[in-house]
Amino acid sequence: MAEPKENDFLDDIEAAEEEAYADEMAELDDEAVEIDSLRAERDQYKDRFMRALADAENARKRADKDRREAENYGGSKLARDMLPVFDNMKRAVEAAQDLGEENAALIEGIELTMRELLNVFKKHGIEVITPEVGDRFDPKVHQAMFEAPVPNTKAGDIIQVAAEGFMLHDRLLRPAQVGVSSNPG
Write the DSSP string, 112-134. HHHHHHHHHHHHTTEEEE---TT
> Are 165 and 116 part of one and the same domain?
no
> Are 9 and 50 part of one and the same domain?
yes
> Are 69 and 2 part of one and the same domain?
yes
> Are 1 and 69 part of one and the same domain?
yes
Cβ atoms 101, 125 nearer than 8 A? no
In this prediction, residue 97 carries a pLDDT of 79
Distances (CA, A) of 155 to 55, 111, 175, 184, 185: 53, 36, 20, 6, 7
> Are 88 and 58 part of one and the same domain?
no
Tell me the average pLDDT across 129-153. Answer: 92
- Its domain, for residue 110, covers 75-124
Please say if the pLDDT value at position 152 is more than 60: yes
In this prediction, residue 120 carries a pLDDT of 93
**Encoded amino acid at 65, one letter:** K
Cβ atoms 178, 131 nearer than 8 A? yes
In this prediction, residue 74 carries a pLDDT of 81
Would you call 182 exposed, middle or buried from its count of C-beta atoms within 10 A (0-12, 13-18, 19+)?
A: middle
- Sign of the torsion angle spanned by Cα atoms 49, 52, 58, 59: negative
pLDDT band at 173 (very low <50, low <70, confident <90, very high): very high
Count the domains in the chain.
3
Please say if the pLDDT value at position 13 is more than 80: no
> Are 29 and 6 part of one and the same domain?
yes
In this prediction, residue 4 carries a pLDDT of 54
Q: Give 17-21's long-range contacts (Cβ < 8 A, gap of 24+).
A: none
> Are 114 and 132 part of one and the same domain?
no
> Are 137 and 107 part of one and the same domain?
no
> Are 43 and 90 part of one and the same domain?
no
> Are 64 and 12 part of one and the same domain?
yes
In this prediction, residue 135 carries a pLDDT of 92
> Are 137 and 157 part of one and the same domain?
yes
> Are 69 and 8 part of one and the same domain?
yes
Q: Identify the CATH number of the domain in which residue 153 sits.
A: 2.30.22.10
In this prediction, residue 42 carries a pLDDT of 93
In this prediction, residue 104 carries a pLDDT of 85
Tell me the average pLDDT across 34-52. Answer: 92
In this prediction, residue 179 carries a pLDDT of 94
| Percent of the chain with pLDDT strictly greater than 70 | 93
Mean of pLDDT over the chain: 87
Bridge partner list, 84: none
